[in-house]
Structure 1
Amino acid sequence: MQDVKVLLRAIPPAKQERDVVDLRHLRYFVGMIDAGSLMKAAERLHVAQPALSVHLANLEGELGTQLVNRSNRGIELTDDGRLLYDRAVVMLRHHQDTLNALKSRKNKTTGRVSLGMPSTLPSLISAQLYRMVRDRLPEVQLYIADTSTAALFEWLQEGKLDLAILFNLPENAGVDFSPLYVEDFCLVGRPPSGPVAAEIAFEDVLNYPLAMPCRSTAWRKILDDVAERQNKVLQSVVETESLSALRAMALSGECYALLPRSAVLEDIRSGVLQARKIVDPDMQGVMSIASVSGRELSRATVEIREVVIDVCSALGTDLPTPDQGVSGGQILRVVPSTLFASARMAKR
């Protein structure tokens, strides 16, 4: 038995297979060849020249072949050295590309963002919004909901929406907002045969056959409050929440609709409808994109908000931005009572 133990000890342990060449070896080797000499490579790689000589000697020893010829002119590749150099360049490039791709992926904005907007807006900005989100935030999914201002505000407070575009909320509504554009209320109808003024006094609006938003909308609340202050009553044969219905009635030429300019901006530009701004009092306000105060926003939500701001700023002079000024009088801040109720509930 003792003889067997002695015999086993006499047999050398099997040599373990291992990778003897790592990326550092390859990087130094490529650096030497690119520099043309060990001295220049030492300067570029910030490694002492003797250390580079040791790395090169170890690399040749591990691979069992001569990689370079040294001379007074520097170093020149052997055939094996050329093979290693060409493949090492590719390997190092793939390695760096992989690192860059992972870093880029980590820095990409991803996630789902819900955005609410009044029914006047989707047809106006959705196409441009799609293009900007596709180009800037390809990993973000945007969900758009359009409904009344009151519903949008409630959904925002309840967390069903990340962002909402709202009309002139009161200062104490519990939201943070960024102004987008100035909105005008207008008398909208078919263009007349002759010239008419671009503006019309509110009391004169009452002389026209009207189709109006129903009383549950923020727009109608504003109209009714202005009429009450002037001891007037707004009457209409048809009331509806449907923007398309109001537009269709205005296009028919049978009546006029009281609508924000943005609701029919494309029809105005094409000349099929005319919008006369209502004045005395000026009926205008600021549309803003809002989020709940104190609620932390995801990176995707913050960037979608910036996209919406950019889209609305590109609408042109037909919908001026707030920094271009709000003409005449105080900005309307009349909103449905449900908004105030929601704001009070949010503060509790």
Structure 2
Amino acid sequence: LRVIEGFSGHLLEWLVMGKIDVAVLYNAPRMNNLLAEPILRDELFLLGAKNDPHNLGPGPVDADVMSRLPMILPARPHGLRVVLDHILGSAGIEPNIEVEVDAMPSTLRLVEAGIGYTILSYSSCHNLVAEGRINYWRIRNPPIERELLLATSSQRPTTTVIRALTTLIRDEVRVLRKLGVWEPRPPSPGPEPAAHLGRVG
């Protein structure tokens, strides 16, 4: 088994060319030679420094706040940037992009240092959130989502190994969702208030 990491556009190209057998990618176009199965709607969040330098509060935040915040985003043709440009552009929102960075680790370091804000999935930052190093805010008006797909080529035979691998990927995504890695867990309800019995004196 060989695992290759890359941008969604590159993975799609390698899949079509037969260089890889299975790809997990975002928002792939409809193609006759591609079998794509949706496995997750991936919600994207606004990420910022723990000290909340622009006083956004607990959230959620409206998407147009990105026109006022210093944003750190990847450059086109990065898949995430294409998704953001489409969704925000359709809503008439132009983000205030101060820095373009294609590498996610570098982006998260800049966010943690308070240089700016970014947009990423919760799975990209769950460890930093758990360690209290960054904040995240749910986005509304409009929410920002992308579709995670499990893709194979229709031009190549589906072997036993490929079937086993796709099953493994589906199972792993389910496990990650249950663990709260892919999306934040809903807050657990607090204890119910104690019942008080009154009597007429």
Q: Measure, in 2, the Cα distance between the counterparts of 1:309 and 1:260.
A: 18
Structure 1 residue runs of 4+, over 4 Å off? none
2:84 aligns with one of 200, 223, 227: 223
**Residue of structure 1 in register with 2:193 after alignment:** none
Residue type of the alignment partner of 1:211 = I
Tell me, what secondary structure is at the counterpart of 1:145? coil
**Residue of structure 2 in register with 1:159 after alignment:** 18
Alignment partner of 1:277 is 2:126: no
Tell me, what secondary structure is at the counterpart of 1:178? strand
Structure 2 contact 12–28 (Cα < 8 Å) conserved = no
**Residue of structure 2 in register with 1:286 after alignment:** 147
Q: Measure, in 2, the Cα distance between the counterparts of 1:287 and 1:264.
A: 17
1:185 aligns with one of 44, 52, 57: 44
Structure 1 contact 189–253 (Cα < 8 Å) conserved = yes
Per-residue deviation at 1:316? Answer: 2.8
Q: Measure, in 1, the Cα distance between the counterparts of 2:81 and 2:104.
A: 13
Per-residue deviation at 1:161? Answer: 0.9
Per-residue deviation at 1:195? Answer: 8.2
TM-score, L = length of structure 2: 0.79
Spell out the pairing of 1:253-268 with structure 2 (5 A cutoff). 253-268=114-129
**Residue of structure 2 in register with 1:342 after alignment:** none
Residue type of the alignment partner of 1:164 = A
Structure 1 contact 183–262 (Cα < 8 Å) conserved = no
Q: Measure, in 2, the Cα distance between the counterparts of 1:215 and 1:264.
A: 22
Residue segments in structure 1 that go unaligned for 5+ positions in a row? 1-141, 321-348
1:168 aligns with one of 18, 27, 42: 27
Q: Measure, in 1, the Cα distance between the counterparts of 2:5 and 2:112.
A: 23
Alignment partner of 1:304 is 2:165: yes
Identity %: 20
TM-score, L = length of structure 1: 0.48
Instruction: Tell me how large the CA RMSD over aligned residues is.
Output: 2.1
Residue segments in structure 2 that go unaligned for 5+ positions in a row? 184-201
Higher deviation after alignment, 184-193 or 208-217: 184-193
Q: Measure, in 2, the Cα distance between the counterparts of 1:170 and 1:159.
A: 17
Per-residue deviation at 1:294? Answer: 4.2
Higher helix share: 1
Q: Measure, in 2, the Cα distance between the counterparts of 1:287 and 1:154.
A: 17
Per-residue deviation at 1:173? Answer: 6.0
Aligned length: 179
Sort the Cα spacing of 1:195 and 1:235 in 2 relative to 1 into closer, same or farther, 3 A: closer
Q: Could you say which structure has the larger radius of gyration?
A: 1
Structure 2 contact 44–119 (Cα < 8 Å) conserved = yes
Residue type of the alignment partner of 1:292 = S
Alignment partner of 1:199 is 2:57: no
